[in-house]
Each structure stands twice: as structure tokens, then as C-alpha cells.
Structure 1
Amino acid sequence: MELDDAVLYQDDPGSSAVMSERVSGLASSIYREFERLIEKYDEDVVKELMPLVVAVLENLDSVLAVNQEHEVELELLKEDNEQLVTQYEREKALRKHAEERFIVLEDSQDGEKKDLQARLVTLQSLVRQMELKTKNYADQSECDGPQLFMVTFVTLLGHLDPLDSGVI
């Protein structure tokens, strides 16, 4: 709003404000009508009406100013909303990506767990076989402790595949 397109008015002698262009146009039209009535009838016809019309115009101008402030605030809120929606969408996509990654890692971990459980079963079976063979060797030959340990150790080494690094 430029000062050229506005009218200054005063409520009280110490304060002045700029009237909007729309209200200024209305005030000019009403003023011309009041002049016409004064010329035709006399000044007393509009004497009581003039302060009321001025108050209505000032209130209208005030309401228009508040409305403009609300429109500016609404625009700012719309921009904030757009930013929040954008941020929400970005965070939603990141969360989806993280959940997908978590599922992949969980599946991988489940696979590793199954592999390790299978290896454990194999090793437990191997230990039982070794214990049985050790017992059989002990029963067949009456060896003392160190010889029995060597027989068990050599037997165990014979059953391990050096290329299968996952067994040990």
C-alpha cells in the first residue's frame, strides 16, 4: 500500500493512520454524497450521521488490516505446512528404507543362525563319534592317560576337513 493511494485520518489529535485504498474510495463516495445532501438540505441533516459514518469507515479499515495480517499469516502457515509435509515424506521414505534394510539383515542373520546350528549339530555328532571311538580304543588297548589323549587327538584330526574353515 503506497501513501499516494491512501488517505490519512485521525481518531484523536496525537495519532494518525493510513486508510486503505478501498476504504478511502468508499469515504470519498460517501463524502460526495454528504456534500450533495448539505447543498440540498442543510448541514444539520448530516451533522449527527457524519461521526457514525467515520467510525464505521475506521472500523472497516481496521478489519481489512486485520484480514490482511491473517492472509499473510495463512500464507506463512501454508509454507510451514508444505515444509512439514516434505519433511514427513522424506522421513517416511528413510524409515521405509531402514525397515527394509532391517528385514534383509534379519533374514541374513537367521540364515547364519541356521548354518551355525547345523554346524553345531555336526560338531556334536563328531564329538559323540570321537568319544565312542576313544572309548573303543581304550577298551581294546589298555593305554594310560597320555596315550589315550594322543589317540583321541589324532582321531579327531583325521575327521576334520582342513578346507572347511567353518567346522572349527
Structure 2
Amino acid sequence: MTGHIPVHLHVNGQAHDLSLDPRVSLLDCLREHLRLTGTKKGCDQGACGACTVLADGERINSCLTPAVQCDGMEIVTIEAMAGHGLGARVQEAFQTHDGFQCGYCTSGQICSIVAMLAEHRDGRPSAETGDLTAPVVLTDAEIRERMAGNLCRCGAYNGIVAAVREVAGA
């Protein structure tokens, strides 16, 4: 295993000590080394968001992120969302509002929504935010802008926006 680097990851609350080729993406590490297959490989170019996970609470495209870059970080995937208060509420709202059809993008959408709602709670603006001196209101346009990095080939965007509105309003 020459050329491999020791990597310590905390994934969904469990510690993992791995020896990885530095070229291995976090996505491939999760799926192939840790057998966490809920995170999906869509485009493998960072364009679709199907691979979105949380790294220290921030949403990232795991297909573009080298696993070695995440050494020591807390990684949260869709597998942990049912036990995550906000994640569980987002999953329920997805069911209520038909926020998914084929389901391929759903794991990335849910992880992204959890992080997006935290960004909103922290007062971070988006490209859609008009007045930076006032509290940001999650309008449909604001939600769509903040979720623009997550594509849905089936076009379930209205259900996704409705699910975000429900959870954000609770």
C-alpha cells in the first residue's frame, strides 16, 4: 500500500481509521470503503448535488472532495438523517409534499436542505437576498436559489420547495 495516507474520519458518529490513496474522493470512500451507499454518484463532476453530505456542518459535493482533505472532520450522510432532528423532519416533509419521484437525488437534497436551513438561521445571504441589512425571508425564490446546486432530473422542485417551507416554518 505504498502511496497511501492514513485518514481518520468521523462518519455519522463513528470513528474510522483508513489508509487511502490521496486521489480517492470522499464519495468513493463512503461508498466503497465504508459501504455507506445512500450518498449517490450522479455526475461525478460537482454539477448535480446527488453526492451532497455535511462536513463539519457545511454541505459539500463529496465527489469533488478528496477524502484525505476530510481528515479529522465530522461527516454526516443521509444514513444518519433519520436520527437527526431536523433531518427527520425534512424526510417527513419530503413524503408529505412529494419532494421526490425516482429518489436518486433525494439523499443529496435532504443533506443540502439541513445545511441550507442552518445557513439561513445563521443569517447568511444568498445571491437572491436583496436587503443585506434585514433578516432573510425564505421565499420560494430564496429557497430555489439556495438549493440551485442540487438538481432533480424528475422535476420534483415544487414538492422540494414546499417541504423546505414546511420545515422552515415549523
Q: Report the TM-score, using the length of structure 1 for normalisation.
A: 0.23
Larger Rg over CA atoms: 1
The structure in which a higher percent of residues are strand is 2
Where relative contact order (Cα < 8 A, 6+ residues apart) is larger, the structure is 2
